[in-house]
Amino acid sequence: MGVKEKKRKKLRARYIILIILCIIVAAAAVVAVWQWDNIKALRYALGTSEAELEQEMEATQKELDDAAKEYNVPEINLTDEELAALESGDTDLGSVVDRVLSAAGSAAEGTESGSQGESGSNTGTENSGSENNSAGQDAEVQRLITSLYVLRSSYSSRLAGLVSSAQSEFASLPAENRTETAKRRIVASKISQASSLESSCDAQVNSIYQQLKSRLSALGQDTSRADQILSAYQQEKTLAKAKYMSQLG
């Protein structure tokens, strides 16, 4: 075999190794991005007190509440039956959103009819602010944001259910089997389920977020509030996972 042929083979081998390394690095990057939120949650769980976590969760909650008020999104109070039906697939997101909006509409009609006897002199003042916010009066924007909030409630409920299930499963073991190894096994199983749940919820949230930005743009409205809602959702999710990591630790 000539010297040139040997060099070609070495170069080819190096090229193949380089491709393999690139694939490994790319795969590692994907995993790192996917796990970044979990890493952030773990850092919170290890370095933040329970009181501090609660304070940050309250601040995030207020941010979400402010956005809901701005766009006239009704308070989301899902029943246990609705949450269970969403989890099992017996009902879909659209049906629950319809119920929430319908209930809010009925309540608003009752309030309006009850105030008809009052003086109409303040009507213009009361409506002037809302009339300047076309997005706040847009049915599609309201429906999209309501959908995000229903998803948030469903995700929070299911995540809490996984934690409760893990605690119950560990407590049901015979005393001699309640070891750290058993706890790690149970927690690992629930983390796997939580990751699958999170992936599904994130896909739905991102889809609705894109629709919301598109609709706000079509109305000539600033889309930064949609970004804020998404950011608050992600932060709340991180804080919730940190809280549950602390409980399972």
pLDDT tens by residue, 177-205: 998 888 888 888 887 788 888 888 889 99
- Model pLDDT, residue 34: 45
Per-residue pLDDT of 146-156, as tens digits, reads 999 999 889 88
- Model pLDDT, residue 210: 95
Query: Which of these ranges, 36-40, 81-85, 237-241, has the smallest mean pLDDT?
Result: 36-40
User: Is the confidence at residue 29, as pLDDT, over 90?
Assistant: no
Per-residue pLDDT of 215-232, as tens digits, reads 999 999 889 889 988 998
Give burial (CB, 10 Å; 0-12/13-18/19+) of 82.
buried
Compute the distance between CA of residue 71 and CA of residue 104 in angstroms, rounded to an integer.
Answer: 13
Q: If you average pLDDT over residues 83-95, what whole number do you get?
A: 91
Question: pTM of this prediction?
Answer: 0.70
Q: In angstroms, how far is the first alpha carbon of the chain from the final one? A: 62
More confident residue, 126 or 205: 205
User: Is the confidence at residue 208, as pLDDT, over 80?
Assistant: yes
User: Is the confidence at residue 124, as pLDDT, over 50?
Assistant: no
Compute the distance between CA of residue 82 and CA of residue 161 in angstroms, rounded to an integer.
Answer: 14
Compute the distance between CA of residue 152 and CA of residue 78 in angstroms, rounded to an integer.
Answer: 11
Q: If you average pLDDT over residues 108-134, what whole number do you get?
A: 49
